[in-house]
Amino acid sequence: LIDLGQPQRSVVTTCAYCGVGCSFRAEMKGEELVRMVPNQDGQANHGHSCVKGRFALGYATHRDRITTPMIRKRIADPWQPVSWETAIAHVASEFKRLQATYGRHSVGGITSSRCTNEETYLVQKLVRAAFGTNNVDTCARVCHSPTGYGLKQTLGESAGTQDFDSVEHADVVLVIGANPTDGHPVFASRLKQRLREGAKLIVIDPRRIDLVRTPHVEAQHHLKLRPGTNVAVLNALAHVIATEGLVDEAFVAARCEGPAFAKWRAFVGESRNSPEALEAETGVRAEEVRAAARLYATGGNAAIYYGLGVTEHSQGSTAVMGIANLAMATGNIGRVGVGVNPLRGQNNVQGSCDMGSFPHEFPGYRHVSDVAVRESFERAWGVPLHDEPGLRIPNMFEAALDGSFKGLYIEGEDIAQSDPNTQHVTAALTAMECVVVQDLFLNETAKFAHVFLPGSSFLEKDGTFTNAERRISRVRRVMAPKARYADWEATQLIAQAMGYPMNYAHPSQIMDEIAALTPTFTGVSYEKLDRLGSIQWPCNEAHPDGTPTMHIDAFVRGKGRFMLTQYVPTTERVNAKYPLLLTTGRILSQYNVGAQTRRTPNNMWHNEDVLELHPHDADERGIADGDWVGVESRAGDTVLRARISDRMQPGVVYTTFHFPESGANVVTTENSDWATNCPEYKVTAVQATRVSQP
Ligand code: SF4
């Protein structure tokens, strides 16, 4: 690294990438940000960071930033730079025209987990109060919406149960459908440290992820399942616990609903749920399942960490409930060192869900049909609010193709790259009359937009992010907005132009409103965040300084509820034409759709998506390492470079989705979770064929 000398001042802020939410000091020389240094006092990272966060400053000043609003009549037309005043007035008049022509519910908004809590809150308020519809959704739809649903059903709260520090008290760690080394690197380091101290490890994953065998760490059990069979494996684990006398009877009797538990015990005890009966379907040896279940149930404090390999399935919500069932059945919940811990992909997935950016829920996960809750928002916001759930993202696409959904405001999301079945998404965008993209860069979605509003990076605004452990941390303005307005100000201007009064002078006032209207946030303020460093919600009268561990004396819903988790195989099956199963994930140096990390030095480590395949599958197809491979599914086709790896199992291939050129989501399908519509990114039947240069 170049020696940049002593900084003149530093600003403490929060990384805008993954759900660990590391605290950084942004070190300044004059008005120039010279480096990001992990904050020793950071309560999520304790002075550590990864290569993403360290170099995150690169994209904020990248030459690709668009800093002038632009409009165009048709998507084939060139962009016309305009003033902010013209752009905002155009958005408002277009959305009013669409609502007058096609009805109030013909428009909607999508917000992002990359936005602050305050920005996300304002987008849903704009849609509900100024547009008068509940057609608002968030990118959590396509990642952790099953977590929200599954944990609410079983435990009563749509959030993880522990803080990250808790892992230091775990004796057994079960990691399912997550690859912390690449996805959550700072947490992974703490986890590995605990494993080196002697904690035992169970990994459930189709690939031999780094955690399975890494210096001084070796998993006791790696259940290398077939993609799409999580629920079958979880049921098999539950079968062993229920039939081998491994249930914590005292915990269940005291803390859980008896009749639901009795039904669950009978259900998982059926012979069809035994490891032996499910071995052929899951590909996991029955003895391995039995041994893993015994270790989880009897090894002391047992903690479960899971990721998108659990949620992004047609049974994502079922799998989340299956995980909660295991924790309740063995009493591994409600104290330090145990629990159910979703590793959120993006920095503010938890926050974007908390802030009510789902079409059926106000902030704090309260249904729009709840009269008392709705009236409290009507009083505060001064307008009548709609009482029926609005459209989810996939429903918006369907409605656009039906001709009933015409206008979409998208803040901070690149749905044309991140959402499944790209052709379907782009057809829907093309069918709309006014697509507004608010972003840092002209992303893939902007190709289908009629208005582009420049976004602001996390370094240019104040706000808060909420990480995977429910920790609310301050985002502090390091530099002036490159495009005049921070994102929350642009949203506010649209509301005003639509005729709805919104007059916040600072994001702290937005947080004050959130706290006044959301029971789990009543004790949160910028003053307290500055004083305590961060706060884990619930933060209220009962827990004025926040709540590191949830469900200690009782579950949020009172008694824990066991849910039946019938395994239903995905309809996405292999056949002679598509004989391989494709699954997707992330790599350490890149973040999500790569819009940010691709514009940093991180490209040194990784500058393309590749297709990992097992040597057996490569041999069969005459594919050598580095060859170009055509990948075809029922949805579409793309070309990727081959990487032959014995981390894979025969019949399963893997890629990432960081680069638009490879377009992994061109091949993923529209299958989705039965409860939440979270896409089934993790299971796509494909064929792979050696091709010449693309
Ligand atoms: Fe921390 Fe995640 Fe940022 Fe890395 S990407 S510095 S682990 S918050």
In a domain, 585, yes or no: yes
Average pLDDT, the chain: 94
Q: Examine the domain organization and report whether 335 and 352 are in the same domain.
A: no
Q: Examine the domain organization and report whether 191 and 304 are in the same domain.
A: yes
Residue 76 has φ and ψ, to the nearest 5°, of -80, -15
The number of residues in the chain equals 694
Q: Examine the domain organization and report whether 331 and 354 are in the same domain.
A: no
36 Cβ closer than 6 Å to some ligand 1 atom: no
The pLDDT, as a whole number, for residue 213 is: 93
In a domain, 155, yes or no: yes
CB 270 within 8 A of CB 567: no
Whether pLDDT at 694 is above 80: no
Q: What is the whole-number distance in angstroms between the Cα of residue 39 and the centre of ligand 1? A: 12
3-state secondary structure of 128: helix
Residue-wise pLDDT for 476-485, tens only, equals: 999 888 999 9
pTM score over 0.90 = yes
Q: Examine the domain organization and report whether 260 and 360 are in the same domain.
A: no
Q: Examine the domain organization and report whether 320 and 382 are in the same domain.
A: no
Strand bridging mode 107-111 / 434-439: unpaired
Flag the least confident range among 61-65, 87-91, 681-685. 61-65
Mean pLDDT of 288-309: 97
Residue-wise pLDDT for 67-91, tens only, equals: 999 999 999 999 999 999 999 999 9
The pLDDT, as a whole number, for residue 1 is: 42
Identity of the amino acid at 569: P
Q: Examine the domain organization and report whether 137 and 151 are in the same domain.
A: no
DSSP secondary structure of 237-278: HHHHHHHTT-S-HHHHHHHB-HHHHHHHHHHHHSGGGSHHHH
Give me the helices (H) in 348-483, please: 349-354, 371-381, 393-402, 415-418, 422-431
Pocket test for ligand 1, best of 13, 20, 187 (most atoms within 8 A of CB): 20
Closest-lying ligand 1 atom to the alpha carbon of residue 21: 8
440 Cβ closer than 6 Å to some ligand 1 atom: no
What is the CATH number for 136? 3.40.50.740
Pocket test for ligand 1, best of 13, 14, 22 (most atoms within 8 A of CB): 22
Whether pLDDT at 5 is above 70: no
Closest-lying ligand 1 atom to the alpha carbon of residue 184: 7
Whether pLDDT at 2 is above 50: no
Can you list the pairs that 190-195 forms with residues at least 24 positions away whose Cβ atoms lie under 8 Å?
190/164, 191/167, 191/305, 192/216, 192/217, 193/168, 194/167, 194/168, 194/170
Last residue of a domain, one of 307, 322, 342: 342
Helices 230-243 and 316-329: angle between axes, nearest 10 degrees? 20
In a domain, 466, yes or no: no
- Dihedral of CA 544/549/550/551: which sign? negative
Q: How far is it, in rounded angstroms, from Cα 548 to Cα 469? A: 8
Last residue of a domain, one of 323, 342, 361: 342
Residue-wise pLDDT for 332-386, tens only, equals: 999 999 999 999 878 898 999 999 999 999 999 999 999 999 999 999 999 999 9
Instruction: Provide the token pair at 594.
Output: 């790569």
Matching residue, tokens 């035994």: 274
Residue-wise pLDDT for 140-182, tens only, equals: 887 888 999 999 999 999 999 999 999 999 999 999 999 999 8
334 Cβ closer than 6 Å to some ligand 1 atom: no
What is the CATH number for 592? 2.40.40.20
The pLDDT, as a whole number, for residue 608 is: 78
Last residue of a domain, one of 438, 472, 505: 505
Start-to-end Cα distance in the chain:
36
185 Cβ closer than 6 Å to some ligand 1 atom: yes
List for the chain the helix, strand, coil content (%; round to 5).
35, 20, 45
16 Cβ closer than 6 Å to some ligand 1 atom: no
Q: Examine the domain organization and report whether 268 and 382 are in the same domain.
A: no
Q: Examine the domain organization and report whether 334 and 352 are in the same domain.
A: no
3-state secondary structure of 452: strand
Q: Examine the domain organization and report whether 182 and 277 are in the same domain.
A: yes
471 Cβ closer than 6 Å to some ligand 1 atom: no
Cα dist. 182→50, 139, 403, 657 in Å? 10, 20, 41, 13
Whether pLDDT at 304 is above 50: yes
Q: How far is it, in rounded angstroms, from Cα 332 to Cα 255? A: 12
Mean pLDDT of 196-219: 95
Whether residue 538 has a cis bond before it, omega within 30° of 0: yes
Instruction: Provide the token pair at 591.
Output: 């973040």
DSSP 130: I
Residue-wise pLDDT for 15-32, tens only, equals: 988 999 999 999 988 888
In a domain, 374, yes or no: yes
In a domain, 236, yes or no: yes
More confident of the two residues 660 and 123 = 123
Write the secondary structure of 476-523 as one string of H (helix), E (strand) and C (coil): CCCCCCCCCCCHHHHHHHHHHHCCCCCCCCCHHHHHHHHHHHCHHHCC
Taking residue 691's Cβ as centre, other Cβ atoms within 10 Å add up to: 15
Domain count, the chain: 3
Closest-lying ligand 1 atom to the alpha carbon of residue 591: 5
What is the CATH number for 317? 3.40.228.10
Mean pLDDT of 505-514: 98
Residue-wise pLDDT for 572-627, tens only, equals: 999 999 999 999 887 777 777 677 777 777 777 777 788 999 999 999 999 999 99
- Residue identifier of the C-alpha nearest atom 6 of ligand 1: 53
- Dihedral of CA 34/38/39/42: which sign? positive
Query: How much of the chain, in percent, has pLDDT values that exceed 70?
Result: 98
Matching residue, tokens 């001084």: 216
- Domain boundaries, position 608: 580-691
186 Cβ closer than 6 Å to some ligand 1 atom: yes
Q: How far is it, in rounded angstroms, from Cα 323 to Cα 147? A: 10
Q: Examine the domain organization and report whether 219 and 273 are in the same domain.
A: yes
Instruction: Provide the token pair at 671.
Output: 């299958």
The pLDDT, as a whole number, for residue 9 is: 87
CB 23 within 8 A of CB 36: no
Q: What is the whole-number distance in angstroms between the Cα of residue 363 and the centre of ligand 1? A: 26
Closest-lying ligand 1 atom to the alpha carbon of residue 50: 4
The pLDDT, as a whole number, for residue 4 is: 56
Q: Examine the domain organization and report whether 159 and 117 are in the same domain.
A: no
Q: Examine the domain organization and report whether 429 and 330 are in the same domain.
A: no
Identity of the amino acid at 303: A
